[in-house]
Amino acid sequence: MIKCPKCNHTLVATTMVCQFCGTDVSQVPRPVEQKVDKNAYKMLSKSTLRGFYFVCGIQVALGIFEFLLGMGMFGSPGEMMKTVYEVYGLILALVGTLLMFRIAAIYQVSSAFCAVEVVLGVVFIISAPLTIEIPGLKWGIIVMGAIQMISAGFLFYFAEETAVGSMSA
């Protein structure tokens, strides 16, 4: 609410002309919408934050695992997939880390990133039986792809939950 400087009537904050005396009130300062940044952060329930950090941790662990996979640490994942695992593993670990520190810019791309994770999870699961000979590695990647897709779903949820306030425009 604002007050008309001439007749002192209380007016709705969106008012441009006082309906009581006709004074132009467009220049009257409006109450600034409450910044919720740090308050919203504190208001998040402990379980939500715990879940959020847990999912971020899984993302970082997956990223590191996929990078090592690309490097051939667990046997060759096939020439075609090698680079995908290396590059994507690094990105995954980086995004997980930045989210953990609640960097606002990463929140803005996190939902798109979750979609990429699901798509690549499918690619990993489908390609593993075709490109990998080592049975242990093949199953490892299938499980990894599944974990990636599930954690992407949780990340999508938690990013929405925890971004309230930290992203306020």
Close Cβ partners of 132 (under 8 Å, ≥ 6 residues apart): 75, 76, 77, 78, 138, 141
Does 15 interact with Zn ion (rule: CB under 5 A)?
no
Q: In terms of CB distance, is 16 or 130 closer to Zn ion?
A: 16
Does 20 interact with Zn ion (rule: CB under 5 A)?
yes
Instruction: Find, among 68, 60, 61, the residue nearest to 101 by Cα.
Output: 60
Q: Where are the beta strands (DSSP E) in 88-136?
A: none
Q: How many chain residues bind Zn ion (CB under 5 A)?
A: 7
Residues numbered 23-62 forming contacts with Zn ion, rule: CB under 5 A:
23
Close Cβ partners of 39 (under 8 Å, ≥ 6 residues apart): 165
Q: In terms of CB distance, is 22 or 129 closer to Zn ion?
A: 22
Does 4 interact with Zn ion (rule: CB under 5 A)?
yes
- Name the residues that contact Zn ion, by CB under 5 A: 4, 6-7, 18, 20-21, 23
